[in-house]
Amino acid sequence: MRTQTSLAGIYAAAITPIHEDGSLDLESLPVYLDFLANRGCHGALILGTTGEGPSFSPDERDAILKAGIGVLNSQRDFVLFAGTGTPSLHETICLTKTAFDIGYQGVVVLPPYYFKSVSDDGLFSWFSALIQQAVPEKGALFVYHIPAVSGVAISLELLSRLKSKFPDQLVGIKDSSGDPIYGSKLIKKFRNDLTILTGNDRFITETLNGGGSGCITALANTLSPMIRKLWDAFHHAEDTTLFQEYLIQARTIAEKLGPFPPLIKALLPLQHNLPTWSVRPPLTPFTKDQANKLLRDLNSINYEAIN
């Protein structure tokens, strides 16, 4: 069985490069992931919420996963997670198999998100079938808890049942609920048994202090050096207050202007001279005025934590 810390780290919820005409820019994906690795990320989640995973067809997701693995040619220690959850159990099984077959270290799986009032029994059956048919003995499955988006919550009781039945394959959870009460209960109950990664930059220090394992966040695309400084300070028993306060302010600004995929894609050309990538409908790109305002707002934050 893996240790709780074997996949701990700072992960970016990576964007998916898309040309202006809506086609995939597959050649840029491993280059972008290399950029993240060089800025302090331990790894990345491909095809999560920030990666617009649900906006792509099964064939497109397959192609994106295969393109992303190219980063391992230059960054052998970089950890790759694949977002493989869909409302279809069969489709989720196929995507999950593909991810493990081509070398992803783990999958982050949304619950089936069409039917909103399903029982824990139904979710237990769904995840059990997925694990039994698609997650190898040494594969790592993370449950993705983001009820504000999926409409389906992951209860602590469901996690207990799944962990009991699949102690090796159920490795962790990405908690993007933004609910500090749920997060506190989650860490208290599972900190010795699951790799707990927060999806909200506000709670990185709180997660680490409680015994959690790190984060997977959208802002790690642009603020990974800051988040890595926080990570390193924590693990050297140093004060993380300034870093965390900066991230809270940045997250507050970003959430007022979301959703995150067009927001991150607006920042990258301005901050790092990267290509201007588009988004898939129903999302719309930021205008130049929106992007410049976002950058001004972020630049207004006290930079003492960086210097």
Q: Is 303 one of the annotated active-site residues of the chain?
A: no
Q: Is the CB of residue 143 less than 8 Å from the CB of residue 128?
A: no
Q: Is the CB of residue 95 less than 8 Å from the CB of residue 48?
A: no
Out of 32, 104, 113, 144, the active site residue is 144
Q: Which residue has the tokens 């130049």?
A: 288
> Comparing C-alpha atoms, which of 31, 42, 20 is closest to residue 197?
42
Out of 32, 96, 174, 246, the active site residue is 174
Q: Is 98 one of the annotated active-site residues of the chain?
A: no
Out of 114, 241, 252, 287, the active site residue is 114
Out of 16, 49, 84, 86, the active site residue is 49
Q: Is the CB of residue 260 less than 8 Å from the CB of residue 221?
A: no
Q: Is 240 one of the annotated active-site residues of the chain?
A: no
Q: Is 113 one of the annotated active-site residues of the chain?
A: no
Per-residue DSSP letter, 82: E
Take residue 192 and report the two structure tokens written for it: 């010795």
Catalytic residue numbers, as ranges: 49, 114, 144, 174
